[in-house]
Amino acid sequence: MRYRILGNSGLRVSELCLGTMTFGDDWGWGAPPAECAAMLDVFLENGGNFVDTASNYTDGSSERILGELLQGRRDEVVLATKYTMTSRPGDPNGGGNHRKNLVQSLEQSLRRLRTDRVDLLWLHIWDGTTPVEEVLRALDDMVRAGKVLHAGMSDTPSWVVARACAIAELRGWTRPCAVQAPYSLSSRDVERELLPMAQAHNLPVLAWAVIGGGVITGKYTATDGGPRRYGDLTPRERTRRIVAEVQAVAGECGMTPAQVALAWMRAPQRRPHVIPLLGARTAAQLRENLRVVDLDLPAEAVERLDGVGAIEHGFPRDFLADEEMVGLVFGSTRRLLEV
């Protein structure tokens, strides 16, 4: 395991992050506490130090389990949690990005996690109603109070994140140091806007659903589609082509399909900008996926996988990259410019 600086912070985090949405079986799937303990041990023993949870994961069980397991080794871990999701569905202030929910959610998370601060607090999902200035000032207040050390933004439009960075820098408030979004061979929408924005602002992207809930590995057949939150994949020919290519590369390289999907995410062109979130239901599964730190795909295999899952970037990226447009802007000098 190697480590990297998290964006514009000084925080050192492992190149893989342990996602703990599977900690607890309250939702009818996931892992019981004993298996969670085994997974955390495997991750830490293999050099991992970056652990991610959220206030609503398994109705709070994920944070409670982590709080118990981290007793005596809390300082060894870069601990991240999230706020936004409602804790009281009938209360209009029971969820959201606003200051009231941030404060009450964070206090609850600190109690569950048995700690006096979290190393990284994520805005979980953009609610579209709270002024970004309120979010930033509330996060900055929590940093100044010592209850939060760093802040990030998850599942938020790229223009909101860019605006948040600009406002925070202008006003001297805590600036987001990372973003989080779904990203995989079969889900590459972030390549249109979010990834270029994140690179420009030095924001690493924590990629969740990196194997599409198991879909990319071929776990789900043409008749059972896939887990609901990833959509019904049965009619999607593109997904079937991706699964077939992943399985072919796995056979050629002596890797599992999940390792191929993770290794593609860690290809040289993505590795400096993306940190995969690993979720697992068993310690054996996690141990197998952690082997990816020692595995690299041949450049030819990466190119094949890039091609089979490629998306159209659309306007403005495709328009601005069009040769005719480039010629209209630069004449014949574009190839002479070093940028």
Residue 322 CB burial class (10 angstroms; 0-12, 13-18, ≥19)? exposed
Catalytic residues: 57
Over residues 23-52, the pLDDT tens digits come to: 999 999 999 999 999 999 999 999 999 999
Judge whether 302 and 267 are in contact, CB under 8 Å: yes
Judge whether 274 and 183 are in contact, CB under 8 Å: yes
Q: How far apart are CA 149 and CA 154, in angstroms?
A: 17
Percent of the chain surpassing pLDDT 70: 96
pLDDT at position 227, please?
Answer: 54
* Domains of the chain with bracketed CATH: 3-336 (3.20.20.100)
Q: How far apart are CA 191 and CA 211, in angstroms?
A: 17
pTM listed for this prediction: 0.93
CA 18 to chain centre: 10
How many CB atoms sit inside 10 A of residue 146's CB?
9
pLDDT at position 155, please?
Answer: 98
Indicate the pLDDT class of residue 222, thresholds 50, 70 and 90: low
Indicate the pLDDT class of residue 235, thresholds 50, 70 and 90: very low
At CA 287, angle to CA 284 and CA 288, rounded to 5? Answer: 90
Residues in the chain: 339
CA nearest neighbour of 108 among 59, 154, 149: 59
Residue 274, SS3 per DSSP: strand
Indicate the pLDDT class of residue 217, thresholds 50, 70 and 90: confident
Indicate the pLDDT class of residue 14, thresholds 50, 70 and 90: very high
